[in-house]
Amino acid sequence: MTEIMTPDNPRWEEFAELLEGPEGCNFVEKEEGNPDLITWRCDNTSERPLAKAILEKMGGIDIEATMKYFYENGGHCDCEILFNVDPGSED
């Protein structure tokens, strides 16, 4: 059985951590302790290759339906999934 990855999914935190980390967007402070100087990678396309690769590794996720959900909720690229789909996750 496959499921859609949304912020309500019990595996969302795992997914978000992977997408934030080295195999995903790789958010890094350029200057330690200065959150205003953060870099990350994103190809800025609706292909969202980083998110797709992570979801494939996690298994059991309907990737096509999840990509549609992300797009409809502001996740137009990999980094926008983190910024827009669940903006409360930064807390």
- Give a yes or no: residue 29 inside a domain: yes
What are the tens digits of pLDDT across the range 27-82?
Answer: 998 888 877 888 999 999 999 999 999 999 999 999 999 999 999 999 999 999 99
Residue 16 counted as domain residue: no
Backbone angles phi, psi at 29, to 5 degrees: -75, 125
| pLDDT-derived band at 91, boundaries 50, 70, 90 | very low
Query: pTM for the full model?
Result: 0.88
Look at residue 84 and tell me if it is in a domain.
yes
Rounded-to-integer distance, Cα 89 and Cα 27, Å:
14
Range of the domain at 77: 23-90
Cα(61)–Cα(31) distance, integer angstroms: 36
Closest by Cα among 46, 57, 47 to 23:
57
Residue 75: inside a domain, yes or no?
Answer: yes
Any domain includes 11: no
* pLDDT for position 2: 84
Total domains in the chain come to 1
The predicted pLDDT at position 36 comes to: 80
pLDDT at position 90 over 60: no
DSSP secondary structure string for all residues of 8-74: TSTTHHHHHHHHHSTTTT--EESSTT-TTSEE-----STT-HHHHHHHHHH-SB-HHHHHHHHHHTT
What whole-number distance in Å separates Cα of residue 34 and Cα of residue 43? 24
